[in-house]
């Protein structure tokens, strides 16, 4: 800090800017008053209100169903794709094509999927959100695993083959274990992205099964309540825990 | 002998082709079915007529494109570009020096600072936007603080303004500026800076003539990462702009979910995506030039 000179100013400004809004929301979640903005004393009553809110609970369940399903599918497809790209083709075009779903504007993907689902006459619901989340999730897994494949030592697989292992044994005993940290990191990434994803879910979900972000959206739109502060504080806690855990995992695997 | 070798090769080839299909097939098929075909459908809808009950009908027409040139829509597009540009500029002004400061921290504090930069980014987008409703409300902490300091007599109208929209977008996407800029400053070859200093350049001049041009590709990536999601965003203008600030994302959303005019919505989306693709192309060209120069030097 001391040797930063005048750079200290923008540095501190950034962190104040990033954290003050979050701190305010967390503090306000312990506010006893009905006013979501002004302080009326310490209380945890809004956490009680939140726990009794069935819409929020159902939204959370819907979100978890989508996130778990999308993570499993995206991890399998993305890992296969990354290995295939590294092993069987050096085509930069194919690689770019596979990674496009991760960088394309979410709104474009959302309307495209809405148009396609309605063109084939599919009813919208959690299944359509799940299918939609797999497409960008897969691209993120492929990106993470591809980065790891670049660092892998190919001689391990050659040695396995020389010692008489067939292709399948080599794949499951050598390739998958060495890639495991990257696969886990990719899966965690998809899971978090899917939990928070709003735009694509908003376009591809049916009205009967809103995911949690859609529930939050309607809560925020139709009035600000202290209950949202409590929900926000809990979600902050969850995502902070996941990010710090992921950080720990990657640091451990880097050390190995 | 020769023929068995050839047969063996044939079998190897077939096996390789099988493995290739098994690994690449499912993923590429999925991307095609759930991204490429949907996008092509949207493109084709732009040339069709709005159906009487939603959806689309023939005949093929260019009318939707003509309609997009209406001054009302051009103003929305211009407004969106203005807001996204202002957000990107502010992100650059705060993000570049912050990234620079992080590269000068001791190594272990660097990781801590980077984690702190991305943490808010990993929290729910709606919650982060909601935090600004709480913050900027007429009864909120910003107004209360200013009042108690005696700086204002009556609460300021902070929420539901263009400024609030820009603040919300900046808050949402600032980490996307800091990370690529940090990476490009980190990668910078320090010996070039030493050379500049040895040749008599001041710190300021070596920054202007060495650091800035060599980190330009990373900075442009950061700018695109901020600009792209800002331009298409419809949540922040709706929640923090209070419906007064309409951006192209709101317009597209409304055409698809409210007005049910899919062809016109498709045209607007197409215009937005082509504009963004143009930005990517410019970035790629600049990056190639600068990298080429670096290689020669």
Identify all chain B residues contacting A157, using CB atoms and an 8 Å cutoff: none
Nearest CA in chain A to B111: A247
Bridge partners, A42 (sequence order): A31
Give the tens place of pLDDT for each residue, A113-144.
Answer: 999 999 999 999 999 999 999 999 999 999 98
Long-range contact set of residues B65-73: C-beta below 8 Å, sequence gap at least 24: B65/B267, B67/B264, B67/B267, B68/B264, B68/B267, B68/B268, B68/B271, B73/B251, B73/B268
Whether residues A220 and B133 touch (CB distance < 8 A) is answered with yes
Whether residues B23 and A83 touch (CB distance < 8 A) is answered with yes
* pLDDT above 70 for A35: no
Determine the topology of domain A55-255 in CATH.
MetI-like fold (1.10.3720)
SS (H, E, C) chain A: CHHHHHHHHHHHHHHHHHHHHHHHHHHHCCECCCCCCCCCCECCHHHHHHHCCHHHHHHHHHHHHHHHHHHHHHHHHHHHHHHHHHHHCCCHHHHHHHHHHHHCCHHHHHHHHHHHHHHCCCCCCHHHHHHHHHHHHHHHHHHHHHHHHCCCCHHHHHHHHHCCCCHHHHHHHHHHHHHHHHHHHHHHHHHHHHHHCCHHHHHHCCCCCCCHHHHHHHHHHCCCCHHHHHHHHHHHHHHHHHHHHHHHHHHHHHHC
Return the pLDDT at B295.
47
SS (H, E, C) B41-60: HHHHHCCCEECECECEECCC
Give the tens place of pLDDT for each residue, A195-230.
Answer: 889 999 999 999 999 999 999 999 988 767 788 889
ipTM rounded to 2 decimals: 0.87
Whether residues B24 and A84 touch (CB distance < 8 A) is answered with yes
Give the tens place of pLDDT for each residue, B36-55.
Answer: 999 999 999 999 888 776 67
Return the pLDDT at B296.
43
* pLDDT above 90 for B282: no
Per-residue pLDDT, averaged over B222-239, amounts to 92
Whether residues B135 and A213 touch (CB distance < 8 A) is answered with no
Nearest CA in chain B to A216: B126
* pLDDT above 80 for A178: yes
Return the pLDDT at A256.
40
Share the mean pLDDT of chain A: 86
Return the pLDDT at B63.
82
Per-residue pLDDT, averaged over B181-204, amounts to 82
Per-residue pLDDT, averaged over B267-295, amounts to 82
Angstroms from B71 CA to nearest CA on chain A: 23
* pLDDT above 60 for A252: no
Per-residue pLDDT, averaged over A51-78, amounts to 94
**Which CATH code is given to the segment(s) B66-296?**
1.10.3720.10
Whether residues A38 and B118 touch (CB distance < 8 A) is answered with no
Domain ranges of chain A: 55-255
Per-residue pLDDT, averaged over A137-164, amounts to 84
Nearest CA in chain B to A190: B122
Confidence of residue B7 (pLDDT cuts 50, 70, 90): low
Domain ranges of chain B: 66-296
Confidence of residue B143 (pLDDT cuts 50, 70, 90): confident
Whether residues B133 and A114 touch (CB distance < 8 A) is answered with no
Identify all chain A residues contacting B39, using CB atoms and an 8 Å cutoff: 104, 108-109, 112
Return the pLDDT at A38.
66
* pLDDT above 90 for A242: no
Angstroms from A25 CA to nearest CA on chain B: 6
Per-residue pLDDT, averaged over B168-178, amounts to 94
Whether residues A167 and B30 touch (CB distance < 8 A) is answered with no
Identify all chain B residues contacting A242, using CB atoms and an 8 Å cutoff: 122
Whether residues A14 and B94 touch (CB distance < 8 A) is answered with yes
Nearest C-alpha neighbor of A207 from the set A117, A132, A126, A150: A126
Angstroms from B70 CA to nearest CA on chain A: 22
Top pLDDT among B85 and A4 is at B85
């Amino acid at each position: 800090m001391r040797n930063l000179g005048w750079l200290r100013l923008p540095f501190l400004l950034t962190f104040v800017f990033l954290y003050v809004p979050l701190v305010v929301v967390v503090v306000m979640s312990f506010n006893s008053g009905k006013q979501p903005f002004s302080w009326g004393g310490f209380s945890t009553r809004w956490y009680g209100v939140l726990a009794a809110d069935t819409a929020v609970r159902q939204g959370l369940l819907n979100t978890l169903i989508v996130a778990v399903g999308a993570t499993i599918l995206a991890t399998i497809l993305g890992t296969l794709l990354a290995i295939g790209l590294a092993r069987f083709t050096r085509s930069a075009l194919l690689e770019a094509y596979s990674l496009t779903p991760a960088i394309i504007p979410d709104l474009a993907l959302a309307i495209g999927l809405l148009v396609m689902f309605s063109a084939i006459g599919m009813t919208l619901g959690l299944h359509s959100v799940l299918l939609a989340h797999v497409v960008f999730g897969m691209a993120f897994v492929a990106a993470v695993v591809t980065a790891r494949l670049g660092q892998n030592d190919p001689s391990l697989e050659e040695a396995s083959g020389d010692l008489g292992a067939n292709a399948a044994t080599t794949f499951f005993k050598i390739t998958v274990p060495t890639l495991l940290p990257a696969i886990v990191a990719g899966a965690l990434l998809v899971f978090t992205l899917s939990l928070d994803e709003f735009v694509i879910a908003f376009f591809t979900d049916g009205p009967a099964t809103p995911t949690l972000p859609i529930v939050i959206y309607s809560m925020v739109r139709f009035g600000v309540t202290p209950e949202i502060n409590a929900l926000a504080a809990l979600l902050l806690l969850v995502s902070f825990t996941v990010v710090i855990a992921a950080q720990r995992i990657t640091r451990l695997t880097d050390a190995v | 002998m020769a023929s068995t070798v050839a047969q063996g090769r044939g079998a190897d080839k077939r096996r390789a082709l099988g493995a290739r299909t098994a690994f690449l097939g499912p993923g590429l098929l999925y991307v095609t079915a759930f991204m490429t075909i949907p996008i092509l459908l949207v493109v084709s809808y732009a040339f069709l007529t709005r159906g009487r009950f939603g959806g689309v009908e023939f005949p093929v027409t260019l009318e939707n494109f003509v309609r997009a040139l209406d001054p009302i829509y051009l103003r929305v597009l211009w407004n969106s570009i203005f807001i996204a540009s202002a957000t990107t500029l502010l992100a650059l002004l705060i993000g570049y020096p912050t990234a620079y400061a992080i590269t000068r921290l001791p190594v272990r504090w660097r990781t801590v600072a980077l984690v702190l930069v991305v943490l808010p980014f990993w929290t729910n987008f709606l919650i982060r936007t909601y935090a600004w409703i709480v913050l900027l409300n007429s009864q909120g902490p910003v107004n209360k603080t200013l009042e108690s300091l005696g700086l204002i007599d009556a609460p300021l109208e902070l929420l539901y303004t263009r400024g609030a929209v820009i603040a919300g977008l900046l808050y949402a996407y600032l980490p996307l500026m800091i990370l690529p800029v940090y990476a490009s400053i980190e990668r910078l070859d320090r010996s070039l800076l030493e050379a500049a200093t040895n040749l008599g350049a001041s710190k300021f001049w070596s920054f202007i003539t060495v650091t800035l041009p060599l980190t330009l590709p990373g900075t442009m990536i950061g700018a695109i990462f901020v600009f792209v999601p800002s331009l298409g965003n419809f949540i922040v203008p709706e929640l923090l702009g209070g419906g007064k600030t309409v951006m192209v994302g709101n317009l597209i959303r409304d055409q698809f979910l409210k007005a049910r005019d899919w062809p016109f919505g498709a045209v607007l989306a197409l215009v937005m995506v082509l504009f963004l693709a143009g930005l990517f192309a410019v970035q790629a060209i600049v990056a190639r030039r600068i990298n080429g120069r670096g290689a020669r030097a």
